[in-house]
Amino acid sequence: MAKYIAKRILYMIFVAFIMTFVLFFLFNLVPGDPARAEVEAMKELLTPEEYLYRYQQARERLGLDDPLIKRYGKWLKNTLEGDLGQSYAYKQPVTEVIKAPLRNTIFLNVFVVAAVLLITIPLGIKCAIKQNSAFDKTIQVLTVIGYSLPVFIIALIFIFIFAVKLRWFPVSGMRTPNFKGTAFQAFLDTMHHLALPLIILIIGSLAGVTRHVRAAMIDALSMDYIKTARAKGLEEKVVIYSHAWRNALLPVITLIIGWIASVFSGSIITESMFNLHGMGKFYIDALHKQDWNVALAIQMFYIVITLVSYLITDITYGFVDPRVKVDQ
């Protein structure tokens, strides 16, 4: 197992290296001049000679006159040392700039992942057990509707109902401006602001996961070993959870771990719509401001999450099903 994990980590490093190369060159091929954007605000206050001098200084400081491959080498070296560069827009190190958005995104998505798993796994199992019943058909209709609707459509519907008409929740921000109170009151205020985005993210994720859990369980329950277990007189709970569910876990694990990785990128739309200071909205803002160092750092964050999720998926296979030899 250790040898396999070491090989996969080397593979992940290789893939990440290739992605850094591709992304760095793509971002630097986008039209725009960070040096000019930095000094443009002072254009009216400077003489043409002073403006040109400061512009050249900015290009030299940012290394924009160096060949692209040399700039990539310097950026990669600094990245490996933990220095992600300076944010052009915020004039601060990228590592400092992304701390708050990263914390907010993780905080938001931890609730989404926990809620979706607690709802979809029991719901999918129950639908499989009661296949073709009125309950199952109702859930199937709802999941098809939920699977078909884009997240931003669900968001607009919920904003209209719960924020505009009922006025239960705010529609932007993560906390009340100038809020004063205890730490617990501040937490409740934050959760009040996040309630609507959380509900939307959870509902947007329920349909796909529920349908996959149901399909995996139906397939497992149709196997001959389930009929044998029932013929031996085992309790139905033992048959379902000890036999069928364990064998249904393999396809479900692939889905769930891949879905967890996609939740972070999927929250870009929700964070932008609700003006949440998370990685998604921060990424969009960085692209609009041509703040390439910040955009690169966030994109690499998504890549690392994806690569780690694939590794966790393969390792988990070996624990769920002893027949799967992940080290071969």
What is the tens place of the pLDDT at every residue in 45-97?
778 888 888 888 888 877 777 888 888 888 888 888 888 888 877 888 888 88
| Cα–Cα distance, 311 to 161 (Å, whole number) | 41
**pLDDT at site 126:** 92
**pLDDT at site 324:** 58
CB atoms inside a 10 Å sphere around CB 320: 15
**pLDDT at site 322:** 59
**pLDDT at site 247:** 79
Q: pLDDT band at residue 225, thresholds of 50, 70 and 90?
A: confident
| Cα–Cα distance, 325 to 328 (Å, whole number) | 6
**pLDDT at site 328:** 54
- pLDDT (average), residues 274-300: 84
Q: What is the pTM of this model?
A: 0.75
Three-state secondary structure call for residue 86: strand
Q: Which amino acid is at 3?
A: K
Q: pLDDT band at residue 246, thresholds of 50, 70 and 90?
A: confident
- What residues contact residue 313 under an 8 Å CB cut-off, 6+ apart? 253, 254, 257, 258
The closest alpha carbon to 142, from 195, 218, 208, 200, belongs to 208
Residue 244: C-alpha distances to residues 79, 133, 233, 248 (Å): 47, 20, 15, 6
- pLDDT (average), residues 206-220: 87
Which pair of tokens denotes residue 47?
């003489």
Please give the backbone phi and psi of residue 114, each rounded to the nearest 5 degrees, phi first: -60, -45
Which pair of tokens denotes residue 154?
């669900």
- pLDDT (average), residues 15-41: 81
Between 44 and 21, the higher pLDDT residue: 21
Domains of the chain in start order, with CATH, are 2-96 (no CATH), 99-320 (1.10.3720.10)
Whether the pLDDT of residue 323 is over 70: the answer is no
